[in-house]
Amino acid sequence: MSDEAIDLAVFSELRSTVGAEFVADLVGTFCDDAAGILVQLREAAEVGDEAKYKRAAHSLKSNANTFGAGRLAAIAREIELGGLSPDAATKVANLGAEFERVAGRLKELAHGGR
Amino acid sequence: MAAGEARVLIADDNKVNRLLLARMVELLGHRVAMAENGRVGLETLRKEAYDLLLLDIDMPEMDGFTVLEEMQSDSRLRDVPVIVTSAREGIDNVVRCISLGADDYLPKPVNTVLLKARIGACLEKKRLRDEQRAIVQRFATPEVAEELQKTGFALGGQRVHATVMFCDIRGFTTMVETQPPEETIDVLNTYYTLMFDAIGSHGGVVNQMIGDGLMILFGAPSPLKNCAASAVAASLEMHEMMAQFNTERALEGKAPVRIGIGIATGNMVAGYTGTHRRATYTCIGDTVNLAARLEAHTKDVGRGILIDQATQLDIPQSHPTEPLGAIKFKGKAANENVFAVTVPSEKVAASKIGSPSKKRTRPHPRT
């Protein structure tokens, strides 16, 4: 896995499929939406709601893959398949940090950066 | 549909997935509606007609598996094609979706080329299904059409106990020869409308139409409680309707249109015959031939409805019949006991029935 938050090949493929402008909007939606999903994930971890915990991780994994955010997808996948574990809080924190990195990079890319 | 625009519903709780899929589908030239979970998706499907559902699995309130189950148990939704799009891993999820009736499964992120191919295939399948349904509904009542949808279109027959009716217009050839074709078409359309109404209201299925000739089944493909009684009741109603039609024609100074009906009951083989590309539902057997002979014989004896003994034994006393004796029909080894059903309107019109010795000049519907 590369250190890059975003796999540029995946991202440009997405752009050529649905259009750069649409992708820019979609990045905005993702950043807003994912923040909410992270909140749900933390809440679920706190109250021990495993179904909700896994569903939130599943949702993030799916979106991360869409944008080529490989590392984010991998962390989310681990949470989705592993379920609630004693180190859930650490995992969620890692996921949150990676999300910040991905969101920053996606915004750059969406506004024409490379 | 391949080149046309389809109505596609996308059910996905994840906003990014929903918007992205919608965009992809719109770029393929289709119209899109969205639902944010399974429950809303199902409600939307029940309210409006869609050509295709793109369905996510993991959703709050109602997941994709439940949506598939609900759709299977709803006859109106059973045939809406479904493509499951999910980031769920594991072949067991794919198998589960397919066994619950999904047409296809696309892993997320969805590849647009695959999506295009799968949507195209699903819509083509739906188009063929819709076409078949339309054909079935043209010769069957809605209940029978549904029964056929459920049991499928396998070629081959099964033995059934049923009643067969043949009906045609007396002197139709003369009518065609003596009046403008437009007027004949008008008469035929009215005749069909009236006959179909009477037949359908007694559970009959018109399965062949040749010119003015109709072949009707009672008790196949769906069983009827008393197929003979239903057929005779329908035949009386058909005569009653024609009597009313003739009253109107008389006011316009037009000649009456008379019909002859032959009915026989017994065992026969019912099913689809033809090829897989083009098939027709029909019944085959001695009983069918007998009904056709009886209908032809109505002309010779100047009666409106003739039935065989098996039918006569099955109908209530309230339908008076008159035995006409044993008659030897062409192609039948044994003589058949024939009965005429008393037609109320016939008593008035009996004297006006056309020449009984007139030869048929038109091919007769056969199975």
pLDDT tens, position by position, B155-171: 567 788 999 999 999 88
Chain A residue with Cα closest to B17: A63
| Domain contains A1 | no
Inside any domain, residue A97: yes
What is the tens place of the pLDDT at every residue in B82-118?
999 998 888 888 889 988 999 989 999 999 889 999 9
Question: pLDDT over 70 for what percent of chain B?
Answer: 84
Confidence of residue A77 (pLDDT cuts 50, 70, 90): very high
Q: What is the mean pLDDT of residues B22-28?
A: 95
In a domain, A2, yes or no: no
pLDDT above 80 for B134:
no
What gap in Å lies between CA A46 and CA A81, rounded to an integer? 18
Partner residue facing B19 (CB), from A19, A29, A81:
A29
What average pLDDT does the segment B32-39 reach?
96
A85 in contact with chain B, both atoms CB, cutoff 8 A: no
More confident residue, B9 or B173: B9
Considering only the C-alpha atoms of chain B, give the largest distance between any 2 of them, rounded to a whole number of Å. Answer: 81
Q: Is A70 contained in some domain?
A: yes
Judging contacts by C-beta atoms under 8 Å, the chain B residues touching residue A30 are 16
More confident residue, A47 or B4: A47
Q: In angstroms, what CA-CA distances link B20 with A30, B37, B201? A: 11, 16, 50
**Which residues does chain A have within 8 Å of residue B89's beta carbon, measured at their own beta carbons?**
81
Nearest to B195 by CA among B240, B147, B150, B144: B240
| pLDDT reading at A2 higher than 60 | no
The mean pLDDT of B53-61, rounded to a whole number, is 94
Q: What is the pLDDT of residue B271?
A: 75
pLDDT at B19 > cutoff 80: yes
Where in the sequence is the domain holding A105, given as residue range(s)?
A: 8-110
- Chain A: residue whose CA lies nearest to B87: A62
Within 8 A of B108 by CB-CB distance, chain A residues are 62, 65-66
Residue A60 lies inside a defined structural domain of this protein:
yes
Q: Which sequence spans correspond to the domains of chain B?
A: 7-139, 152-352
Angle between helices B142-151 and B112-139 (to 10 degrees): 130
* CB spacing of A18 vs B20 below 8 angstroms: yes
Residue B357 has pLDDT above 60, yes or no: no
Q: Does position B15 have pLDDT exceeding 80, yes or no?
A: yes
Which fold does the domain B152-352 belong to in CATH? Alpha-Beta Plaits (3.30.70)
Listed residue (A21, A80, A24) closest to A54, CA to CA: A80
On whether the pTM is more than 0.80, the answer is no
Neighbouring C-beta atoms of residue B2, cutoff 10 Å = 10
pLDDT at B360: 35
**B23 part of contact set with chain A, CB < 8 Å:** yes
From chain A, the residues in CB contact with B24 under 8 A are: 17-18
CATH code for the domain defined by B7-139: 3.40.50.2300
Question: pLDDT for B318-338, tens place per residue?
Answer: 788 999 999 988 877 788 999
B105 min Cα distance to partner chain A (Å): 15
Per-residue pLDDT averaged across B211-215, rounded?
87
User: How close, in Å, is residue A68 to chain B by CA atoms?
Assistant: 10
Closest to A59 (Cα-Cα) out of B218, B57, B243: B57
Q: With contacts defined as CB-CB under 8 Å, which chain A residues touch B17? A: 62-63, 66
Alpha-carbon distance B208 to B165, whole Å? 11
Q: Do B16 and A18 touch (CB under 8 A)?
A: no
Report chain B's mean pLDDT, rounded to a whole number: 84
Q: Is B17 in contact with A17 (Cβ distance < 8 A)?
A: no
- Among A17, A58, A65, whose Cβ lies nearest the Cβ of B58? A58
| CB-nearest partner of A62 from B17, B24, B60 | B17
Domain of residue A55, CATH code: 1.20.120
What average pLDDT does the segment B121-126 reach?
A: 88
pLDDT given at position A69: 96
Q: How far is A26 from chain B (nearest CA, A)?
A: 6
Mean pLDDT of A68-94: 93
DSSP code at position B155: B
Least confident of A1-10, A29-38, A55-64: A1-10
Question: How many domains in chain A?
Answer: 1
* DSSP bridge partners of B215: B166, B208
Which residue in A19, A33, A65 is closest to B109 by CB distance? A65
B18 reaches A (C-beta below 8 A): no
Does the structure's ipTM exceed the value 0.90?
yes
All residues at 6 or more sequence positions from B195 whose CB lies less than 8 Å from its CB, including other chains:
B167, B206, B214, B238, B241, B259
